[in-house]
Structure 1
Amino acid sequence: MAAEAEHVIDLGHLPGAARRGLRLLLETVVVPTLLLYVFMVTVSGVAGLAAVLGWCAVTVAVRIATVDRVPGVLLLAITMLVGRTVVALALSSVYVYLLQPVLGSVFMATLFIGSALVGRPITLRLAQDFVHLPVLMTEDRRVRRMFVQVSLLWGVSRLLDAGMSLGVLHWGVAAGVFSRGLFSGLLTALSVAACAYWGWSRLRQIEGLRFSFGHRAVTAT
C-alpha cells in the first residue's frame, strides 16, 4: 500500500507568539483590572473606570509610537474594553462593567458549542488565522472531529467562567474585580493550554502529518 501523502502544519515561531499573547493579556486584562481595583478601593469606582479608559489610550499610543502596525487583535480587545467601560461609566456602575464579560462568556459558549453541534466548528476557522492548514486536512473527518471537540471544550470553559464570575459577585464588587483579573485570566490560560494540548495530541495520531516550527512569526492580526 502506498504511503499516505505527507501534510505539514506550520506552527511558525511559537516563543514569539507566546510572548505576544502574554503581552496582550497584561495590556487588556491584568493591568486594567489592577487599576480598577486600586482606584476603586482608594478613590471610587468611577475613578477606577476612568483609569481603565486612560490605560487604553496609553496602550494604543505606545503601540503606535513603537511599532509600524498596531495588531488587529489588540485593537479589537481595546475596543471591547473601551466599550464596556464607557457603558459602565455612563451608568456609574462597576457592577455593569463586571456583568458585561459574563454575558460575553455566555455568548461565546453558545457560539462555540452551537458550531460544534452542527458540525461546523468555529475553531477550525480560527485556527487558520494562526497556523497554515493544508486544504485536504481541513476536509479530513479526523481533523474536523478534533476541532469539534476543541470547540466543545472551549465552550464549556466559557460557561464555567460565567458561572464563576456570577458566583464571586455575590461576595461584593471588590471580589468580582479581583476574580475577573485573576481567576478568569487563569481559567482562560488553562483553557487555552488544554485546547492546544488536546488538538496537538489528536493530530499527532494522524499518519502522514508533521509539524513545522518556522522562524517566521505567526501572523494572527
Structure 2
Amino acid sequence: MPQLPAPVDEALLAPLDDRADDCADGVPPVVRPRLGAVLRRVSVSLLVACVVPAALFYTCFRLTDVWVAMAAALGWSYGAIAWRVVTRRRPSGLLYLTAAVMTVRTLVSVALDSTYLYFLQPIVTDAAIATLFLASLATARPVVARLAGDFYPLDDELALRPGVRRLFRRLTLLWGAIGAAKAAGTLWLLESQPLDTFVLVKTVTAPTLNGLTVAATIAAVVVVARREGLLERVVQPVPSGA
C-alpha cells in the first residue's frame, strides 16, 4: 500500500511563501550578511594575505637566512592564490596586491643581490600606497570604495548612498595617513637599528598597527552599516513565560 506524504507544517513554509511572493512581484529578496559573517571574511582575508606571510618570513629568517624567508613568504602568497583558483573561489584583491608587491620586492632584491633593498622597498611601497589612497580622494571612487566588494556584497545602489560614500572617503583618508606614518617610522627604524632588531620590531609593530586600524575600520563600518540597514539584525526569541 503506497505511503501518504507526511504533513508539512505551514509555519515552516511561510518564509518560503513570502520569498516566492517577492520573486513573483519581480523583486528578488534582499539577503544581508550578518556581522559575524563579515568579520570572518575580513579576518580570513587578512590572515591569508598578511599575517601568515609575515610569520613565515620571520620564522625562516631566524632559522635560515633572509633569502629563504623571501622565497617562503612569496611561495605562500602564490600558493594561496592557486588554491583559491583551483577550488573555484575568487582570491581577494588584498591577496593579489600582497603577492604583486612581494614579487617586485623579491625580483629587485635578487637582481641586485641586495637584502637592504628588500626591506627598503616596503617603505617605498607604503609611501606610494599612502599617496595613492590620499590622491584617490580627489576622484569619485576612492580606493576603499574599490576594495570594499572583497568584504561585503555591494551594488550600485549601496555604493552611491551618501552615508556609504562618506564612510569610504573617511576610511581612505585613515588608511592613507596610517600608511604614510608607517613608512616614515619604518625608514627611521631601518636606518637606525641592526637588521635583527629591525625585523623583530617590524614583525611585531606592523601587524599591531594594522590590527588597530582594522579594528577602527570595522567599528566605523558597523556604525554606518547599522544605520543604513546593511547588516541583518538577529532578533532573540522571547520566552513564553516572559
Distance 2:142 2:184 in 1: 23
Query: Is 1:147–1:199's contact at 8 Å kept on the other side of the alignment?
Result: no
Residue 160 of structure 1, CA deviation? 1.8
Task: Tell me if the contact between 1:52 and 1:85 (Cα under 8 Å) persists in the aligned partners.
Answer: no
Structure 2 unaligned blocks of 5 or more: 1-29, 234-242
> 1:210 is matched by which residue type in structure 2?
G
Q: TM-score, normalised by structure 2?
A: 0.65
1:106 aligns with 2:124: no
Question: 2:214 maps to what in 1?
Answer: 192
Task: Tell me how far 1:197 sits from its aligned partner.
Answer: 1.9
Q: Which has the larger radius of gyration?
A: 2
Q: Which amino acid aligns with 2:210?
A: T
* Higher normalized contact order (CA 8 Å, seq sep 6+, divided by chain length): 1
Who is 2:91 aligned against?
71
Percent identity between matched residues is 31
**Could you say what the CA RMSD is over the residues aligned between the two structures, in angstroms?**
3.4
- Where structure 1 has 5 or more consecutive residues not aligned to the other structure, the ranges are 1-8, 215-221
Report whether the alignment pairs 1:33 with 2:64.
no
Task: Report whether the alignment pairs 1:159 with 2:180.
Answer: yes
Where does 1:13-24 land on structure 2 (aligned, <5 Å)?
13-24=34-45
Which stretch shows the higher mean deviation, 33-42 or 104-113?
A: 33-42
Q: Figure out how many residues of one structure are paired with residues of the other and give that number.
A: 203
TM-aligned CA distance change 1:203 to 1:51, over 3 Å: closer
Question: Over residues 12-35 of structure 1, what are the superposed CA-to-partner deviations in whole Å (9 max), with x where a residue is unaligned?
Answer: 254344344434434443333333
Query: C-alpha deviations, 1:32-81, integer Å up to 9, x for none?
Result: 3333334434433223323334444554565566x333524334433432
Q: Specify which of 141, 147, 152 is matched with residue 131 of structure 1.
A: 152
Deviation at 1:213, TM superposition (A): 3.1
Deviates more, 1:29-38 or 1:163-172: 29-38
1:210 correspondence with 2:229: yes
Give the Cα separation in 2 of the matches to 1:128 and 1:18.
14
Task: From the superposition, tell whether residues 79 and 41 of structure 1 become closer, same or farther in structure 2 (CA, over 3 Å).
Answer: same
